[in-house]
Structure 1
Amino acid sequence: MLTGQVSTRLGADPHKALNRNHVNGYVWRPALKAAGIDAGTDTGMHALWHFYASALLEAGVSIKALSEYLGHHDPAFTLRTYTHLMPTSNDAVRHAIDALWT
């Protein structure tokens, strides 16, 4: 069972980040292979990491919270890295201010 393998091999602790090298070797690459998907830079863990971050930003998660979820020690680093994924932030600001006056 995959869940058991993950927790056993990776020592999964819900309060600690997983080691991406172990996840790559024991979970991610085997899952790609089983699905018939070639492993590459566009299907790797790094791409998944950015997808995760962009999905959270799109859902309105704050940079501070995202920074904590990603394990970054400095929210400014997270902001510099992912600010290009926030193109609707100007609209969100306008809507927030407009909502105060309606």
Structure 2
Amino acid sequence: MLAGAVSIKELAEYLGHADPGFTLRVYAHMMPGSHDRARQAIDDRLFRPRPISHGTGTEQ
């Protein structure tokens, strides 16, 4: 859930933990490494398929 952009506070509440720090200490080892997250974020933003333009935009 953390790797899927759920906030640590939301996850802690969902799991019934009073302290989000506790949740992070318990589950942080399960998160992908920061290099993997950075690489994926860059790939997602730079290498998205772009829409194909069909014409010059002057057609009516």
* TM-score between the two structures when normalised by the length of structure 2: 0.50
Identity %: 53
Specify the structure having the higher radius of gyration (Cα).
2
Letter paired with 1:79: L
**Structure 2 unmatched ranges of 5 or more:** 48-60
RMSD: 2.4
**Structure 1 unmatched ranges of 5 or more:** 1-55
* Bigger helix fraction: 1
Task: State the Cα distance separating 1:79 from its structure 2 match.
Answer: 0.5
**Distance in 2, Cα, partners of 1:85 & 1:57:** 9
Conserved? CA contact 1:57–1:85, under 8 Å? no
Matched positions, count: 45
- Say which structure, 1 or 2, has more relative contact order (CA 8 Å, 6+ apart): 2
Q: Structure 1 residues 93 and 64 mapped into 2: Cα distance closer, same or farther (>3 Å)?
A: farther
